[in-house]
Amino acid sequence: MEKKNKTWEKIFSTKLEKGMVLAEDIINEEGIRLLVQGTVIKESHRIKSILKMNRITMVKVEAGEEAKEGEDGKAPLQAPDLKPFVTEKTEAQREAEKEQKSQRVFNQRFHEKCDQLRRDFEKIVSGEAVKSSDLYPRIQDTLEIFQKENNIFQLMQSLKEVKDLTYAHGQNVALTAYSLGKWLDLSKNELEELILASLLIDIGKARVPKETLYKTQPLNEDEKVAVRRHVLHSYDMIKNYDCIGKAVKEAVLYHHERMDGSGYPIGLQGEEIPLYARILAIADLYAALTVKRPYREAKTPFEAIDIIRQDYIDKLDGAIWYTFLRKMGDNFIGQRVTLNTGGEGKIVFMPSQDITRPIVEIDGKLIDLSREETYRIENFA
């Protein structure tokens, strides 16, 4: 019986074997990408376990040039001709170069736009006039830059070397808040307001003594009070600008409020806290942890998530937080990482129950960090 050649075959997931190559991304019912196209099956039992856990019964894999007739009358898949390791390495290098170029272009455009906005914000700090016709086109341009990028969180890692900590933090908050707002289906106008609020939340730190902001030792109570007053300073600086809307002003004032009433400046609780402020509470925490501070090194995204989950889970909006976790996991599939052992690998699966302990492929071997506790991710490669 004559068969047509195919570049892929659909098979039962239970039939996956070592050496097969996935012909498409595998996405579960929640829309989360579990495995990426091109993944070479090295440990089939692990992959089968992942697919079974997500109730995925059929997968597409790359096929050989032809298939032999099986006992059941169907043509079983032939193991594909695998490319030499050196070719795979070259492709990985090519992909890394592409990502680096994307980062450079993004950094250049983003920094140019942020520098323009920074000059506007310096005018606000000094009480000078700022025109809406200047401010909002720049915010719209910033939104356009964000919308052209597929993975904001990976690009955030390239912003770590900015020396001005307040400036770097504002950039990272804007990136994180934009992603959260997009995942929450905010409108274009709402995203613009959220980005503007993100970039304004810390301008009040200009009135906090620099020796307090850059102190390498724990702050005393008076210094903590001085730092907390930055939200009042920020609000005071923007309250009389008609070009800045009420929702933005409230987000700046209330982004340190907490769902359990333990925040500041006035101890709002739950739904009393405006939506933008609840989004910024998460974006601000995550960005603060993943940027280097005078008193500590930057945390990895996975360390930051662990800290927030342990120390802040009852203080944040749960629905927004779990949206953040779910979508973050999807963003990190395919990301190259370095482990504490010095090895470099690629994230191939993010378990929904704990995205800080993914499955990593390194030198053809799958390492399940949820089971192998001696391994941990040190950083993005």
What's domain 1-64's superfamily in CATH?
Answer: Molybdopterin biosynthesis moea protein, domain 2 (3.90.105.10)
What one-character DSSP code corresponds to residue 207? Answer: G
- The pLDDT of residue 85 is 40
Task: Tell me the DSSP string of 17-32.
Answer: -TT-BBSS-EE-TTS-
CA–CA distance, 311 with 289 (Å, rounded to integer): 13
| Overall average pLDDT of the 131-153 stretch | 75
Q: 286-320: per-residue pLDDT in tens? A: 989 988 777 788 888 889 999 999 999 999 999 99
- For the chain, the domains span 1-64, 87-332, 333-381
CA–CA distance, 37 with 21 (Å, rounded to integer): 8
- φ, ψ for residue 194, nearest 5 deg: -65, -40
Indicate whether 77 pLDDT > 60.
no
- The pLDDT of residue 223 is 96
Query: What percent of the chain shows pLDDT beyond 70?
Result: 80
- The pLDDT of residue 12 is 82
Pick one of 1.10.3210.10, 3.50.50.60, 3.30.830.10, 3.90.1170.20 as the CATH number of 87-332: 1.10.3210.10
CA–CA distance, 81 with 70 (Å, rounded to integer): 20
CA–CA distance, 360 with 46 (Å, rounded to integer): 11
Cα torsion through 128, 133, 135, 138, rounded to 10: -150
- The pLDDT of residue 198 is 93
CA–CA distance, 29 with 278 (Å, rounded to integer): 28
Which residues partner with 27 through β-bridges? Answer: 33
Indicate whether 123 pLDDT > 80.
yes
Q: Is the dihedral of CA 12, 18, 22, 26 positive or negative?
A: positive
Q: Is the dihedral of CA 155, 152, 318, 359 positive or negative?
A: negative
Mean pLDDT value across the chain: 81
Q: 148-176: per-residue pLDDT in tens? A: 765 666 556 555 555 555 656 778 898 89
**Do the Cβ atoms of 35 and 349 come closer than 8 Å?**
yes
Does 375 or 132 have the greater pLDDT score? 375
- The pTM assigned to this predicted structure is 0.72
- The pLDDT of residue 5 is 52
| Overall average pLDDT of the 333-355 stretch | 86
Q: 221-243: per-residue pLDDT in tens? A: 999 999 999 999 999 999 999 99
* Helix 221-228, helix 230-238: angle, nearest 10: 20
In this structure, the chain runs to a length of 381
